[in-house]
Amino acid sequence: MKSFDAIVIGAGQAGPFLAARMVEKGMKLALIERKFLGGTCVNAGCMPTKTLVASARAAHVARNGAVYGVNIGGEIAIDMKVVRARAETVTMNARDGLIGWFAGMDGMTVIYGHARFEDPKTVSVNGETLTAPRIFLNVGARPVIPDLPGVNDIDYLTSTSIIHLDRLPRHLAVIGGSYIGLEFAQMYRRFGAEVSIIEHGPKLASREDEDISDAIADVLRSEGIDIHTGASDIAFAKSSDGITVATDSARIDASHVLIATGRKPNTDDLGLEAAGVITDKHGYITVDDRLATNVDGIWALGDCNGRGAFTHTSYNDFEIAAANLLDGDDRKVSSRILAYALYIDPPLGRVGMTEKQARASGCKIMISTRPMSRVGRANERGETKGFMKVIADAETKKILGAAILGIEGDEVIHGIIDAMNAGTTYPALQWSVPIHPTVSELIPTLLGDLKPV
């Protein structure tokens, strides 16, 4: 049996950085990863997908160059092999960087294999037994495949496998109208495929307010994407030239099907029962406000704990654990203000409460909206789709939430994220003097138009 000061299972965006901090403190660490360093973000999420989004945007800009007085002769051609290779290069550069970083750390042992608990302090991997007083789980999540008629009879794609496509689908059917599905839908439409979105719910991006959802749908429809919401009785069947996707109201002749109906935690094969670690009904590991499980000496970080499903929340889990365990601090998950983005084009930047949540909170609220068509920078760039919205507490003057669907919305939202984290009231933010011409310069104006509802 090999002994360590701590064992990290899973090399996503939390555990490895915590391991590195502990090694700096002179501890002996084992980092166990069953597949690739970097987790979903590096290998099948943020980095490769946003690289693909960039290629798709380049195609879109080239195709619409004449609007800006730039005439490109002939039809815009997409070389999917080059597109795929570019995304793989970005992934491999990041993965190799992690390999080199960890290799240079005295005290760090990286083990590739499938770890399982033997008891609360012991795990087995590759026929060896390892023990440590502290064990951190950072095992991530994977796509979930719904039990739909015919789904096991077709060769479907997931968000993991679609990034390896090196040829353009004739017609891509996207099952699921949430964030992952929407990004791939617009991406492949811009590459030149016909695209249909099939969503069981009544609207796209169901987490968002109805006006945001409607605006997202308008953006996608304007690019020629077919959207079928409220779809039921979804079923699949092989056809002579692809896959037939049938619903209660539509029949789609697709060449490829992307299943994007959610994700589930990679916790079902860790032997958690041997350690006594509790999960919820969805398989997420139950943790307290400091990311500790119900078993002393075991913590769960990142997607597998159900307290966030983003790279930045996973990294923040690392920061919370490191601050509490190594720096004598007392940081809590409940102090985190949730923010995220949807990377369609234009992107959606979001922070805090939706309007629906704010209305249900019992607070006296104020709301302001402004169409992107009234933003100078958006007009100069010829990208005026979307709008801004901010919600504030009428009594405390604190900002409760905001949504920016529009050009550079994923960057602009940080002005509001920073203000909310600093506890800045909206009247104080109104006095800032932003740079012109930018999209961010409209934040004080947006706040100045707040009105009670």
- The per-residue DSSP string of 95-164 comes to HHHHHHHHHT-TTEEEEES--EEEETTEEEETTEEEE-S-EEE---EEE-----TTGGGS--B-TTTGGG
Residues carrying an active site annotation: 436
The whole-number pLDDT of residue 226 equals: 98
pLDDT at 15: 94
Provide the whole-model pTM. Answer: 0.96
Bridging pattern class, strands 226-228 and 194-198: parallel
Q: Report the alpha-carbon angle 442-443-445, nearest 5.
A: 65
| 31 DSSP β-pair partners | 8, 110
The tokens of 305 are what? Answer: 């704990």
- Spatial contact of 83 and 171, defined as CB atoms under 8 Å apart: no
As a whole number of angstroms, the distance between CA 108 and CA 30 comes to 6
> Which H helix or E strand runs over 374?
none
Kindly list the structural domains of the chain, giving each domain's residue range(s) and its CATH number in brackets, ordered by start. Answer: 2-142+264-335 (3.50.50.60), 151-261 (3.50.50.60), 339-452 (3.30.390.30)
- Element housing 339 (H / E): strand 339-342
How many helices, marked H, and strands, marked E, lie in the chain? 13, 24
Q: What is the mean pLDDT of each run of 10 residues along the chain (453 residues)?
A: 97 96 97 95 96 98 95 92 98 96 94 98 98 98 97 97 97 98 98 98 97 98 98 96 96 98 97 98 98 98 96 98 97 97 98 98 97 97 97 98 98 98 96 95 97 96
Residue carrying structure tokens 């004080």: 444
The first and second tokens of residue 133, run together, are 């007083």
Q: Which two tokens stand for residue 397?
A: 């003057």
Cα→Cα distances 328→54, 63, 151, 322, 331, Å? 42, 55, 51, 9, 10
- pLDDT for 285 equals 98
Q: Find where tokens 């023990």 sit.
A: 131
**Residue-by-residue DSSP string for 36-56:** -TTHHHHHTSHHHHHHHHHHH
pLDDT at 59: 97
3 state SS of 6: strand
